[in-house]
Chain A
């Protein structure tokens, strides 16, 4: 098998996990010429229920699109962390919001855990909590380099609402830097 990478973005409804997943998949399909799938799972609650998007990026067509071997896991809520950590690869990269998710000690031995106050930084440093998901996409790309940085940056530009464009680009670039830093520190 050639290139095959599975990501899972999990949070609660309203946090933007599904949009973040769509952005990565778009970047893979339209700017990188990979195959990609995005499968959302959510409950009947519009806001507050655990929601996740599984994204598979591959250089061959994807037949069965449920993630069973997750390489990168983003969790922005404790409920989502607990519910969706089941399919992680051993030593998967896990990014959590340090203010909202407490990672159990035993998981710290299983996975590479990166903790960052996503919501706090989005709200107070970038200026709007809605940029949290783009900040997370930035960190994800900076850390994993699963896709070309410019491909993702172009997609963010295309996909976010125009009135929040500057703010989201700032979030993305800030995320990239943090991700690169995480990578260096291992």
Chain B
């Protein structure tokens, strides 16, 4: 008798478990499975599939032709060099900014973040304006008889990436420096280790794990970037460009080779991720500073020098933005700039590609709606409903961090190219790719705020008679809003600046601003390109200000 009732109880217990949150989890799995796992799996299969049979032919081909494997080598060299230089710039800037009394910190900080958020190919493009074959600095020096090296080539990419991505290092290191308790450094000083030696022996080892995370971000970003090498590579190929060319070649595309290249890209990024995780796994220190380090007052001379250093770097990295904005207002005659200011470029943009502007903001806005909902619900599932299943979900959601945009674009096209689900060429596929690629930003900031919300707030509401679902929307959801929204705005900013997957997924009528900039640059319409890029910059700056206001002046977490 008692056994029977017990069984009954168990089964009714099980039926209770099919609640809203499990529904959310299941839906998330279905959608991610369908729009991320399936397409990636598809290109994996594709890379081994030639003329209807299983083969390693594609991989063999890749490693036997210099044309292919040199692209991998180039990608690797560029990304590694860029990571190294980004560290060289980012760490000192972060140290100076967080430890010394530098003036205009807020402005410097904002400019550094702005640098990071603007699309790298705009940076590349403005360096061409400055240092290209016909660049104004090149010409300036040529006029006085000095031949300066051209920006085109590997070193140009390294230059652009280093200046574009050092903010990753800067942001991570600044965060880490704040968590080092003063007493650690004081202890070191009292043991007779001070100055540079203290930085080397105590501070640097303590922030090493964080630096490596920042370095990982720089490497990933440089390795996956598509626009910069396309503009200033000039004959020097890197993997994402190669994959793109194989996929959209006018001489007949080669999806199998494109898939193979995508798999190789994916393998490298994944390996690098595991390598980074491995080297920090033994060196992670959990610190919370009881007494965060105080800002040291420098002597006037030292202060001036430090300020000049920061100013120099920040200026150098923001120059591309400035150049683009200035260029957009310069009057032109055909492709030739004449020395007057006008709004011609903007008029032309509105005349030529108005839909690119509406497309960009429309798609990004549709994507942000989904990202807010997904961020709200999925972060709750991941944080509050911890299980093996939900941590798998968490991992799946974070996969796009290691998937280069080109790869995701190619995989989506291949997966949804024919009935029953034919999405290629529609705006829907663009929105899907944006949601998948940029959701991690929203997720991170949503989970971060959720960890700060007390679980018992919900229990209090439930015990007061409000059912669990209603409780969530009346308490936790409201409290999460600032975090979710600021994450979503960050997703939004990176969405409007997205090029690498858009360029594969777009089709005439669905072109966005970034794609238009790209094609304008290629047809030498620098004015319109600059105007479009300025519109993006303006949108980015406004978004940043909104985030800053939302987070109540706290640090922006990217």
Same complex origin of A and B:
no
Chain A positions near chain B (C-beta within 8 angstroms): none
